[in-house]
Structure 1
Amino acid sequence: MNTSIIPRWAARAEEAGFSTLASTGRYAYPGVSDTVALAAAAGATTTIGLLSAVLLAPTWPGALLAKEIAGIDGVSGGRLTLGVGVGSRADEFTVPGHGLRGRGGRLESDLATYRHVWGGGLVGDGPNPAVPSGTRQVPMLFGGYSAPTLDRMVRWGEGYIGGSLPVTMTAPSFEAAKRAWQEAGRQGVPKLVVLAYFALGDSETGRANIRDFYRMAPDDIAGNVVLCTAPEMIRQSIKDYTALGVDEIIFVPATDDLDEVTRLADIVT
């Protein structure tokens, strides 16, 4: 991937009228981390929403991530939504004391830390907060397929992110998210977001990139990742997910061809 394309991609997406730019980052893969990509996008744009879809939060020390996220949200003018995932692969967890084991419990503690830091709470035993006054509580969405994911969503979040899988596989997760929201007594409905990869130009390179990215994923995920390679596939995805009540579809590029922004915009805007 040509990482220098990120600011230009972000600016072109905003010019084309898209609603949101999203990152999909991993540590154990040759790419750019979520925080770097989102900061670059924030600096290159002024109005488009920003989303991590999803950031593997337990791989970070909680207070450090809270400050990073608050900073990106601040420089963007309050355009960031933090999409949170718990992670499942040991090679992503490289910080001493923040391994794969115990990640769910750490995330529970970290979510409280985020709120504390964003609310201007003091850092450790010192006299200072970690963030400037006026920092807001950054909205959070949660992605994953476990019951704890939905529990965290209704207690801490604004909604749910579904993965890049066929609608028949993701529909039950969206229904479960709406049901959990209602049972928890939350007002209204959760925001629902879904991911779908696309490669409208060089589809073969796109397929190869997706296979490489998911080569260590479980078979039920790797073998079912959605890749839209034609306009009718894009339109069908929009139709299917609109029928499910999904609020936003994030079309994730499978190549770094900048013209993909225009190709997608010609179909959906």
Structure 2
Amino acid sequence: MNIGLGLPVTDIDTVLDWARRADAGPFSTLGILDRLVWDNPEPLITLAAVAGATARIRVQTEVLLVPLRDTALLAKQCATLDRISGGRFTLGVGVGGRADDFAAAGREIGSRGALMDRQLADLRRIWAGERFSADAGPIGPAPRHRAGPAGPEVLVGAFRERALARVARYGDGFIGAAPPVWLGRLFRSVEQSWRARGRAGRPRLVAQANVAIGPARVVAEARAALTAYYSDPDVASHMLAGLLTTGTQLREAVAAYAGLGADEVVLYCWSADPDQVDRIAAATAGWEAAV
């Protein structure tokens, strides 16, 4: 199982330092979250810069809120990032649920699921080189791969059964931000719908966990950032309870995700301290012993 890192979004000036350190280490992926009404960097622009500052590590949205975006422009942006990164880009997608994000984007939050279904179908058509509409021709550039399904790898983030079915309909895999005790059921549901739809092979399964490894100030910074991000007190309390702050907790969680069949776990860091990259690399070394 691969281990990736989620880039911190509390200090944009540290992002490229994080990226270069992670690229030189054992990590497989650098992920980044998406919000509109919050003090985070725009994901696709940030990942383009990260791709240019690195040589081998993959870059991934976790997850991009597709209903907030124009479909045609998003298709072009993703294909461009896919090409300039040398095929290292993964598009993680989700519907979102923050009313202020949708208000700022001028979109109806109640129709976000149906809208994203149409958008994902349209993205695949555009990447396959089809005309956008009767009035508009194909939208380039072409992604690196145009064969079944066309475009960069797409991971769908979801929790409900209807939403999980999008993985088999439009995606290449699933990404879930949940503790192991919950994620196993989601993984199995995704696999079942994948088989029911007659998809070949198996979906890629990616887990996400929150982590802060370091001295007390690092953990305190991470807890403050999580509390600010999850404005709902109940959700924030749940997220804080699941924050991994010791090497033992981290290795046990990674081993648990591996036991569920995860192909990758992305450790999302909520403190901007770049030294976390080295600490997490050291803390996860030998995680197999915790199985």
TM-score (norm 2): 0.85
Task: Quote the Cα distance in structure 1 between the aligned partners of 2:252 and 2:101.
Answer: 34
Which of 105, 121, 138 aligns to 1:95? It is 105
Confirm or deny that 1:74 pairs with 2:87: no
Superposition pairs of residues 20-169 of structure 1, within 5 angstroms: 20-93=29-102, 94-96=104-106, 98-123=107-132, 129-133=138-142, 135-136=144-145, 137-163=151-177, 165-169=178-182
Superposition pairs of residues 165-244 of structure 1, within 5 angstroms: 165-201=178-214, 202-216=218-232, 219=234, 221-225=235-239, 226-244=242-260
Aligned-pair CA distance for 1:125 = 5.8
Cα pair 1:119 1:135 within 8 Å, conserved = no
Deviates more, 1:251-260 or 1:28-37: 28-37
Task: Quote the Cα distance in structure 2 between the aligned partners of 1:166 and 1:105.
Answer: 28
Q: Deviations over 1:115-168 (max 9, x none)?
A: 1222233455667533124543111111111223222110111111111x3221
Cα pair 2:93 2:154 within 8 Å, conserved = yes
Confirm or deny that 1:255 pairs with 2:268: no
Identity of aligned residues (%): 34
In structure 2, what residue type is equivalent to 1:79? R
Task: Quote the Cα distance in structure 1 between the aligned partners of 2:62 and 2:133.
Answer: 30
Question: Which SS does the other structure have where 1:101 is aligned?
Answer: helix
Deviates more, 1:168-177 or 1:19-28: 168-177
Task: Quote the Cα distance in structure 2 between the aligned partners of 1:6 and 1:92.
Answer: 23
Question: Any runs of at least 4 consecutive aligned residues in structure 1 with deviations exceeding 6 A, and if so which?
Answer: none
TM-align CA RMSD? 1.8
Question: Which SS does the other structure have where 2:238 is aligned?
Answer: coil
In structure 2, what residue type is equivalent to 1:213? Y
Question: Which SS does the other structure have where 1:223 is aligned?
Answer: helix
Q: Deviations over 1:231-260 (max 9, x none)?
A: 001100111111111110100111110101
Aligned-pair CA distance for 1:49 = 1.1
Segments of structure 2 that go 5 or more residues without pairing to the other structure are 1-9, 146-150, 286-291
Cα pair 1:118 1:135 within 8 Å, conserved = no
Task: Quote the Cα distance in structure 2 between the aligned partners of 1:199 and 1:69.
Answer: 30
Aligned-pair CA distance for 1:34 = 1.4
Question: Which SS does the other structure have where 2:87 is aligned?
Answer: coil
Task: Quote the Cα distance in structure 2 between the aligned partners of 1:229 and 1:175.
Answer: 28
Aligned-pair CA distance for 1:183 = 2.1
| Larger RCO of the pair (alpha carbons < 8 Å, separation 6+) | 2
Question: Which SS does the other structure have where 2:49 is aligned?
Answer: helix
In structure 2, what residue type is equivalent to 1:227? L
Cα pair 1:6 1:40 within 8 Å, conserved = no
